[in-house]
Structure 1
Amino acid sequence: MDPATLIGIVIAFGSLVAMINLEGSSVGSVLLMPPMLLVFVGTISVGLAGSTFKDFLHSVKSLPKAFTAKPSPPAESIDTVVNLAEKARRQGLLSLEEDAGKTQDTFLRDALQNIADGTDGDELREMLDDAIDTKMKTDNIASRFFQQLGGYAPTVGIIGTVVSLTHVLENLSTPSTLGPMIASAFVATLWGLLSANFMWLPISNRLARLSELEVDRMTLLMEGVLAVQAGSQPILLRERLTALVPEHNRGTAKAARKPGSDDHLKSAA
């Protein structure tokens, strides 16, 4: 689990609580049910209205991934491909069919099975490219949905403030209550801005970044297995794949793996 999103959101709300306390107020002054209900329910509702129900369900199911997903280090994918290259040079491409049956990664499994079946390299590249494009489109649905919520939330908050201020104007005959009522009216705008910038937009950006890393991993595997099919030397293949990964993101594999070990297939999932 990569806790970056959770830590960031907690610190953001923590800074808000600290500011409220330092100003001598209380958190309860902003925890008002009516404006919060309008902002959260209204924002999600208009987000649903601007999408399809299937896309909405997909986005909701993708939400936990923003907090729990842990990107696979590129070093693991590189080790996987290099081990496959070593095995292919020793036992031939047909031996990769055995590895295809062991891996839990559907993308890698399909690629290895097609290599074992003798699929042409150009056709295999086209097939894998299509799979990557589909992955990008699928992930973009959830990211775009939460980005839209981040755009709707502030406006919904303003709507809540306008409604509350209308109620304030109806009670000008009681000046003693105007101060608290006006303060409560702006809570809707506050929650609209907070939910957009502390929740929806960070979640959208997190899902987009996770998708980028996954697509990079799939691209790395694609280039690797195509090189294996072409008979590339394992040492040169490792150097080539390593050069495709930004230095700060290369990482290291969890454990060294012996050539031909089955563990590298499990780690690729």
Structure 2
Amino acid sequence: MDVLSLIGLILAFVAILGGNLLEGGHVSSLVNGPAALIVLGGTLAAALLQAPMSAFKRAVQILRWILFPPRIDLPGGIDRIIGWSMTARKEGLLGLESVADSEPDPYARKGLQLLVDGAEPASIRSILEVDFITQENRDIQAAKVYESMGGYAPTIGIIGAVMGLIHVMGNLADPSQLGGGIAVAFVATIYGVASANLFLLPVANKLKAIALRQSRYREMLLEGLLSIAEGENPRSIELKLQGFME
């Protein structure tokens, strides 16, 4: 679990609710059904209108990365590549066939299979580059769904505020109707700004960072596999790949 994300989510709620309580407010004053419907429904509608179905589905799939990110072990990846290179030096590239069959990572397995099949380094690079660039673009586009929602939410909140004020202006003669309209106006603004800046935009940036880190890991695997194909010494491969370390 990503502890920093969990702490961030908890701290966001504590900051908003705690500040409200310290100012003498009540939690119930921040709960407003019409405001939530306007902001959340409007923001979701705008995102659905903008994003293609594939990007939206992927955005839903990778949201869990916020708390449960994929494991990306750069030092472990280097150790695996060095092990593959030593096997290739001792047994030849065909010695990697059993390694490829048992490799759980589809990307690494494809690269190892290309080595076993005797593909040229240029061919290996072109095939694997397409894979990791396509996956990176797919995940970045999914993260941008949340980024776009973070851009729309404050504006939708303002729309909710204006609608609440319209309700207020239309009922100036009836003081009993003023409270509800004013509440929708201010709470809608809070919902829009808070959801954008405390959740949607941070989520988008975190997902982008994870996607880029995955791409760096795949690029490291690619360089390692190419070095093996070119018959480089395991020690020189290790020194080269250490440049990918953070």
Give the structure-1-normalised TM-score. Answer: 0.87
Which runs of structure 2 are paired with 1:142-221 in the superposition (5 Å)?
142-175=142-175, 178=178, 181-221=181-221
Verify the 8 A CA contact 2:160 2:184 in the aligned structure 1: no
- Aligned-pair CA distance for 1:180: 6.1
- Listed as ranges, the gaps of 5+ residues in structure 1 are 247-269
Question: What is the number of residues matched between the two proteins?
Answer: 246
State whether residues 20 and 26 of structure 2, in contact with CA within 8 Å, keep that contact through their aligned partners in structure 1: yes
Equivalent residue number for residue 9 of structure 2: 9
What is the match of residue 254 of structure 1? Answer: none
1:33 maps onto 2:8 in alignment: no
- For the residue of structure 1 that corresponds to 2:172, the secondary structure is coil
Q: Per residue, is there more helix in 1 or in 2?
A: 2
The residue type paired with residue 211 of structure 1 is: A
Tell me which of the two structures has the higher relative contact order, counting C-alpha pairs closer than 8 angstroms and 6 or more residues apart.
1
State the distance in 1 between where 2:179 and 2:49 align.
36
> Where in structure 2 are the equivalents of 1:108-147 lying within 5 Å?
108-147=108-147
Aligned to 1:84: 84
Instruction: Tell me whether 1:227 sits opposite 2:222 in the alignment.
Output: no
Q: Partners of 2:136 and 2:244 in 1: how far apart? A: 19
Cα distance, 1:179 vs structure 2: 5.5
* Percent identity between the two aligned chains: 34
- Aligned mates of 1:59, 1:180 — CA distance in 2: 35
Rounded Cα–Cα distance in structure 1 between residues aligned with 2:20 and 2:135: 43
Which position in structure 2 is the counterpart of 1:22?
22
The CA RMSD over aligned residues, in Å, is: 1.5
**Unaligned stretches of 5+ residues in structure 2:** none
Q: Which moved more, 1:22-31 or 1:51-60?
A: 51-60
2-structure distance, mates of 1:160, 1:243: 51
AA in 1 matched with 2:102: K
Work out whether residues 2 and 70 of structure 1, in 8 Å CA contact, stay in contact via their aligned partners in 2. Answer: no
> 1:176 Cα deviation (Å)?
6.6
Counterpart of 1:128, as a letter, is L
Q: Distance in 2 between matches of 1:54 and 1:28?
A: 38
Q: How far apart, CA to CA, are the structure 1 residues paired with 2:181 and 2:147?
A: 32
What SS does the aligned partner of 2:67 have? helix
